[in-house]
Amino acid sequence: MIRVKICCISSEEEARIAINSGASAIGLVARMPSGPGPIASEVLKN
């Protein structure tokens, strides 16, 4: 079985698109060494 991970998801809309397109897993963009990412840490904890 082939599994596909879509990385650099930066919004709920992108996550829905990836999942609805058949992604097996997604990678979310959070805080990075260069500063805060587009998804707040509080959102990821929920």
Q: Apex CA 5: angle with CA 3 and CA 9, to 5°?
A: 160
pLDDT in tens, 5-41: 999 898 889 999 999 999 999 998 887 788 777 887 7
**Which three-class secondary structure string do you get for 3-26?**
CCEEEEECCHHHHHHHHHCCCCEE
pLDDT computed for residue 18 by the predictor: 97
State how far the Cα of 43 lies from the Cα of 7, in Å rounded to an integer.
17
pLDDT(2) > 70: yes
17 by Cβ neighbours in 10 Å (0-12 / 13-18 / 19+) ranks as: middle
Q: Whole domain around residue 16: which residue ranges?
A: 5-45
Dihedrals phi, psi of 16, to nearest 5 degrees: -60, -45
pLDDT(46) > 70: no
pTM: 0.72
Number of domains in the chain: 1
